[in-house]
Chains A and B, each alone.
Chain A
């Protein structure tokens, strides 16, 4: 199969100035030498993306994933190496970039399209589609400075996807707008996939990658660490991510290379059971109790056992982590079967599907067994609050001063 994007030995070095001297005087004072450190955002990255695949680029903040996308988009020039793209390319880096507040929606669509390299004749043909997709029929001749941020983003997305790109670069922009528009965006992306276009998504939301991508790659500190099947990549990514986060390390979820642990398998996690408040309702509402039952087994008696859990949000955010030892629970000696229950008096979360990771390890952090988000639980919030956490907000109205 032909490659749509070929990244060969790409490195990108940024100069980080401790102070930025941008005037002649300042440069003269410092004899033209500006003190700086070099930061290697990308280090010899090579990646081939076949035409027609959807590639997910995973990486946490500062891993270089966005830098790589910008290099592919041509916005940044690599310090070394080559990026070759075959096919028309559109990048959804920031929706509505370059919109002029004083111009109307119509004028902006034409301007934006020509920034993306389109001719007027082409835009004429798809203009009505763009407006319909953005649901802005009534406002298209209003200056965009009067638009709400949602309208702005809708018009930006609509313009960008109607450019008819063969390669679409997406940088976490799908997480914007209201829910119905998000679904529309995802539908559009699915259509693109069905039409055999190449899509590159940059995100740290592992779920999104699992849902959408047929290939994935993970970046860590500017290096490409793994490329392949999304599930493998996500696992590797999670492990690396957690190994980098101290709080996770403190609660004993430092499971990097867990399979290599000398104690691997001494204690086994047989089952992780999500116990909803009502047996026939497979979700929990905010404020209701919830518990997780971890069933363990050990063939030989093991005395040094700590169970750690971690909860992940719908977009893969690490929300919470703790372990039995931190909570003051002593498991004693595990011999044969044992059950450890984590009880939540009330669930402080809002709508969404949450991932649960469970690990069994020694107090020192050597891993016996590890279940990486094999279990998920559903929170169904009835209210109209938005976000992840149900903060106990009260509104108090008083007389002004």
Chain B
């Protein structure tokens, strides 16, 4: 029967990277099922169900709009559109990383009893965050329609590439934090804390130009944050050059930055798969 996996398996203290990637691919259906389970369990017996995942960013939007636009005066016209285009990206990264970090520890019951490629757990957590991302995109579309805001069609093809780059980066980080969290439960608290300044190190509630003008020729430092180029692409494509306050660089600039994140993330994924593989051996003993 060809639809059944695992014909021959060798269990040694170390496995090959290639075999691991193949194993993960074989278990892609489990990945999908775990994402589905995650979403089902989260909204089981709640009246509003999936609406909650829309209300969360909607609330953030209201709060940030009030604080940064009304109270502090960000000077960015149509601030909700600007904010939402960056916030979408951030929420994906934030929720994905947080839930993935806890995914192996949280599923100790399965990890201790059944063999399957454990990498599937953090990856499925990111998958669930991705589903939320698409749901929240609906809010984005509604906001665009409400403001009759034009998007920059030219930049739209960059969005999926930026999204993939972000997912890869998030996966690389999550594989590491999820495995480390098994040994040191501090990891999940650390990630929570680290994400706070990280949010403000990304140009979401303020404009990139604000930082760039302060840093001058050191603004590449700011771009080292892999989330930034992705956020910038989303803002450029969705918010566009509606206002001169907000960055408007040539096409290649955005494409180049995202390409760097993409390639770097691929390398990081390979690295963290290796780390995960090393740490995975003692999962059962530590859980």
Contacts and interface: CB of A to CB of B under 8 A. Distances in A.
B114 A102 contact: no
Contacts of A83: 10-12
Interface stretch (A84-92, A275-283, A294-302, A334-342): A84-92
A72 B34 CA distance: 25
A84 B10 CA distance: 4
A241 to B, nearest CB: 27
Contacts of A150: none
A110 B33 contact: yes
A75 B184 contact: no
A85 B9 contact: yes
Given A102-B44, A116-B114, A164 B185 contact: no
Contact of B116 (A85, A103, A117): A117
B6 to A, nearest CB: 5
Nearest to A117: B5
A73 B116 CA distance: 10
A115 B114 contact: yes
Contact of A114 (B33, B41, B107): B33
B147 to A, nearest CB: 39
Instruction: Give the most central of B5, B30, B183: most A CB within 10 Å.
Output: B30
A97 B110 contact: yes
Contact of B284 (A75, A82, A114, A118): A75
B109 A103 contact: no
Instruction: Give the most central of B1, B12, B109, B186: most A CB within 10 Å.
Output: B12
A94 interface: yes
Given A118-B3, A121-B3, A143-B44, 4 more contacts: A79-B13, A85-B10, A107-B37, A122-B3
Nearest to B15: A77
Contact of A82 (B1, B10, B110, B281): B10
Please give me the 5 A-B residue pairs with the lowest Cβ-Cβ distance, nearest first. A97-B113, A74-B115, A98-B110, A77-B281, A114-B30
B114 A80 contact: no
Given A85-B8, A88-B5, A22 B183 contact: yes
A188 interface: no
Contact of B11 (A74, A100, A122): A74
Contacts of A85: 8-11
Given A84-B8, A102-B41, A23 B115 contact: no
A27 B187 CA distance: 13
A234 B281 CA distance: 33
What's the interface size class on A, roughly?
35 or more
B109 A88 contact: no
A120 interface: yes
Interface in B89-115: 107, 109-115
A117 B27 contact: yes
Contacts of A87: 7-8
Contacts of B3: 118-119, 121-122
B40 to A, nearest CB: 6
A23 B41 contact: no
Contacts of B34: 111
Given A97-B109, A103-B37, A103-B40, A76 B7 contact: no
B168 to A, nearest CB: 24
Contacts of A86: 7-8
A103 B41 contact: yes
Given A74-B115, A75-B284, A77-B13, A27 B184 contact: yes
Nearest to A6: B10
A116 B186 CA distance: 31
A131 B13 CA distance: 38
Interface in B166-184: 183-184
Contacts of A194: none
Contacts of B13: 77-80
Contacts of A94: 113
A27 B184 CA distance: 9
Contacts of A81: 12
A14 B183 CA distance: 15
A151 interface: no
Given A80-B13, A89-B9, A119-B3, A24 B114 contact: no
B11 A91 contact: no
Contacts of B110: 97-98, 115
Nearest to A12: B285
Contacts of A121: 3
Nearest to B181: A22
Nearest to A163: B4
A367 interface: no
A77 B9 CA distance: 13
B99 to A, nearest CB: 16
A45 interface: no
Interface in B1-58: 1, 3-13, 26-27, 29-30, 33-34, 37, 40-41, 44-45
B80 to A, nearest CB: 35
A119 B29 contact: yes
B7 to A, nearest CB: 7
Contact of A88 (B7, B12, B116): B7
A91 B4 CA distance: 15
Interface in A20-46: 22-25, 27
A71 interface: yes
Instruction: Give the most central of A75, A85, A122: most B CB within 10 Å.
Output: A75
A208 to B, nearest CB: 21
Contacts of A24: 184, 186
A73 to B, nearest CB: 6
Given A103-B37, A114-B29, A78 B11 contact: yes
Contacts of B10: 82-85
A134 B40 CA distance: 24
Nearest to B31: A114
A315 interface: no
A102 B43 CA distance: 10
Given A83-B11, A103-B37, A117-B26, A75 B113 contact: yes
Interface string A100-142: 1011000100110011111111100000000000000000000
